[in-house]
Amino acid sequence: MAEKENNKNYLTYILVGLLVAAAFALGSLYTKVKVLEKGSVTSNSKETGQTVSPTTLPKAELQVTDEDPSLGPKNAKVTVVEFADFQCPFCGAYAGLDKTMVKNMQARNPSWQPALPSLIKDYVDTNKIRFVWKDYPFLGQESIWAGAGARCAADQGKFWEYHDFLFSHQSGENQGAFSKDNLKKFAVTLGLKTADFNNCIDSGKYESKMQAAQTYGQSVGVSGTPATFINGQMLSGAVPYSQIKPLIDEALKK
């Protein structure tokens, strides 16, 4: 009789323990969901619209070389570096070229404006900053191909034209929009030397560099796109121009 009572008590303790563990797990899940609801734009992919205060992130010492596509003077007092993926719609919105995502961002925040067009107008064109592109092709094979394609275009002095064309022609992730055949068609549209471009694509000339670019981005704290660094200080997510501008102005005063 006593043995049965002990077994009953033992089972009761186990049941109570399981209920407590389940309640804790549900509470943690609820908290996580709430944080995501407040901090990010709804997306089924790994890119992010979430923004993180620059004061919460350590300053990085970035390596910028002549191989990195850039706009503005190399000796500018302020260097702004963007890590991005051509398949990322938030990057397309940041560039002001994915019109659908721009509208989605503005529906969430009516004051949201894409950063890159104003950065170029207010700071690059006035020779105040250098804007540098860094590949972070983490969304799949077509991200690698697209990044490599843009570098093949850069061989012919048309990186930024190809950059704009890619962001204007996004269509889902790894659904064929940036297949090698389509990348070659884009080159024709942009008036590139197709034989040279096609050889660059088919040879995989820049594909290993795309893999290395992702590894480098991770080493300086990048985990999603876009990621913007202002003299090494990172802003993570599709930050609006209004959030970047005061940081650049402050850096210019130093």
Angle at 173 between CA 240 and CA 207, to 5 degrees: 95
Question: Whats the size of the chain, residue-wise?
Answer: 254
Residue with tokens 């969430």: 108
Q: Indicate if the pLDDT at residue 75 is higher than 50.
A: yes
Give, in order, the Cα–Cα distances in Å from 214 to each of 143, 183, 196, 217, 220: 11, 21, 26, 5, 10
The model's pTM is: 0.78
Torsion of CA 217, 131, 254, 223, to 10 degrees: -20
* Percent of all residues in the chain with a pLDDT value above 90, rounded to a whole number: 75
Domain range list for the chain: 1-39, 54-253
Q: Indicate if the pLDDT at residue 33 is higher than 90.
A: no
**Angle formed by the axes of helices 194-203 and 141-154, nearest 10°:** 140
Q: 156-206 pLDDT, tens per residue? A: 999 999 999 999 999 989 999 999 999 999 999 999 999 999 999 999 999
Q: 114-142 pLDDT, tens per residue? A: 999 999 999 999 999 999 999 999 999 99
CATH architecture classification, 54-253: 3-Layer(aba) Sandwich (3.40)
Q: If we measure between CA atoms, which residue out of 64, 181, 192, 185 comes closest to residue 130? A: 64
The confidence score (pLDDT) of residue 9 equals 52
Q: 163 near 150, Cβ under 8 Å?
A: yes
The confidence score (pLDDT) of residue 25 equals 40
Q: For the chain, give the mean pLDDT.
A: 84
